[in-house]
Amino acid sequence: MNLRTAALTLLFVTGAAGAEAPAKVAADSYGLSKEQAVEVCKPRGEHEYLARLVCPDSEHATFERSGNFGERTPLPDDLSDDATNRLIEDMMGYKALQPGEADYHIVDGYEVACGETKIRVYLDMYHCDAPRPTRAPAGFSIIN
């Protein structure tokens, strides 16, 4: 195992320092919870999506990356090292998920501001097969 793989494995298994425990997901928490993260393609897709968000006052939102917040779906307790390595390789290769396959991708959080009001929006940048998102989190509109 090389240093990069070891570091990614540690990050993938433990999550980020700011990782939060899984929470119940509200009915309309699109983009506002890890479990309902906005699906985009790579960091560029994150930035393009966030740049399309519009605040209630019709101004564009500003945003800054807060960090990663661990897996979208908690990893099984009995996941072997080989299975963990395969998940990391698939994620780093932006491999498409199969129908019904659990999404263990690492989720990024961004602090999104409308004036003085700030919220965290969660994005999953490992969905390069997904169409460009057209929904906005509650409280925002989006330029399509």
Q: Does residue 90 have a pLDDT over 50?
A: yes
Q: Are 91 and 124 in contact (CB under 8 A)?
A: no
pLDDT at 19: 39
pTM metric for this prediction: 0.80
Q: 137 phi and psi, to 5 degrees? A: -60, 155
Q: What is the dihedral of CA 126, 77, 85, 32, to 10 degrees?
A: 10
pLDDT at 127: 96
User: Is the four-CA dihedral 80, 90, 109, 16 of positive or negative sign?
Assistant: positive
Q: Does residue 1 have a pLDDT over 70?
A: no
Angle at 144 between CA 98 and CA 132, to 5 degrees: 15
- pLDDT band, residue 28 (cuts 50/70/90): confident
19, with CB counted inside 10 A (0-12, 13-18, 19+), is middle
- pLDDT band, residue 27 (cuts 50/70/90): low
